[in-house]
Amino acid sequence: MRRLGRDTSQVVPILVINLIFTFTVPGISVTGHLGGLITGALMALVLAYAPRTRRTAFQVAGGALIVVALLGLVLVRTATLTG
């Protein structure tokens, strides 16, 4: 949103509230929430900073790369839990 010159004041409090809940409420997956925050930030970077030329291709490739990385992390974690 900042790259587009828009106001981010509505998003920041939601992120802060979610982080507070993540660390204070028992039973909430800290790693899950932080992983979602990092993944969302990476996807936002891919979408916001895609070059004007071939923007759609860049965004699709970036999103696909993130999905492949997440699948790889799932496979590694599954192997460590079952092996």
Computed from CA positions of residues 6, 67, 80, 29, in that sequence, does the dihedral angle turn out positive or negative? positive
What share of the chain in percent tops pLDDT 90? 80
List the structure tokens of 15.
Answer: 């992120």
Residue type, 67: V
Q: Tokens 């925050």 appear where?
A: 37
- Nearest 5 degrees, angle CA 39-CA 16-CA 32? 35
- 32, 8, 34, 9: which is closest to 19 by C-alpha? 34
* pLDDT (tens digit per residue) in 7-35: 878 888 999 999 999 999 999 999 999 99
pLDDT at 10: 86
Domain spans in the chain, listed from the N-terminal domain onward: 11-82
